[in-house]
A and B are shown apart, each in its own frame.
Chain A
Amino acid sequence: MQGTAVGRAVDLTLLRSYDELISELEKMFEIEGELRSKDKWAIVFTDDEGDMMLVGDDPWDEFCKMAKKLFIYSSDEVKKMSSKSLLDDECTMVQLEPDQRTVKL
């Protein structure tokens, strides 16, 4: 999955929790159970200040307001990441549409 760009969309306003978001992503990529385990993949997002944050720490409603893009990295990649190499690394990038708050995978 890492390194692929798939033209899919998920509407965050239709989801009520991180649990539902994870379920949706796992179903979408047919990787049930893999995102929840946290050992294999890390889901991060860029917020409205341009910072890259791990998904899950914020209250869900706040996350929906501030998230701009979602990235799914392998755990190994996250550990190795430095600021410089971040955007160059291949990953699955998720674009959040500001108007619709949708997640484009």
Chain B
Amino acid sequence: MVCDSVIDLGLSLRTIQHEPYHTSGQSVGEYREVTDELKSNRGEFLQKKHEARNGRCGKECWSNEGGRKKWGYVKVTMDGFVVGRKVCVLDHGGHSTLAHQLEDMFGMQSVTGLRLFERESEFSLVYKDKEGTWRNAEDVSWKELVENVERLRITRRNDFLLFF
């Protein structure tokens, strides 16, 4: 993502998690690394950034390969729950912060919570890569996940075997 007319608004994106319009009803506060910057509205930030360029750069500036992934946003669905969510993978630095955000979003769907990537968890996080193959998000490096993820899905651990 290269653009000559980038205007630095002085906001750090180091560990920003997109604070969407709504806040979750059951936040897993003790797990989230929240700084003052996380409370800024990412959507508003991105809109200002885009407006600052007067749209000269067009979509190429912020969309990744012009595909479904705009600004790193990918869909997340959970088996058995029909309403999907969106997460921005670029907001995260690793599996654990992503897992925390997903816990926030979907944790209330299970009595025990998702506890993704924990050995005892009954849930797995899988992702669909650019070739359309479903893979276990836990098995790949964060870099590989971010570069290849097209979609995320929370599935019951035993059900994942059905993907093959």
Contact = CB atoms under 8 A, between A and B. Distances in A.
Interface of A: 17-19, 22, 38-39, 42, 44, 49, 51-62, 75, 78-79, 81-83, 86
Nearest to B45: A59
Interface of B: 18, 20-25, 42-44, 46-47, 50, 68, 70-71, 73, 75, 77, 80-87, 108-109
Contact of B83 (A18, A53, A58): A53
A2 to B, nearest CB: 15
A1 B86 CA distance: 27
- Classify the interface of chain B: helix, strand, loop or mixed: mixed
Given A38-B23, A57-B87, A86-B82, 17 more contacts: A38-B22, A51-B77, A52-B82, A55-B21, A56-B20, A57-B86, A59-B42, A59-B43, A59-B46, A59-B47, A59-B71, A61-B47, A62-B71, A78-B83, A81-B81, A82-B81, A83-B82
A60 B47 contact: yes
B51 to A, nearest CB: 10
A56 B21 contact: yes
Contact of A54 (B43, B84, B109): B84
Nearest to B79: A83
B83 A57 contact: no
Contacts of A86: 82
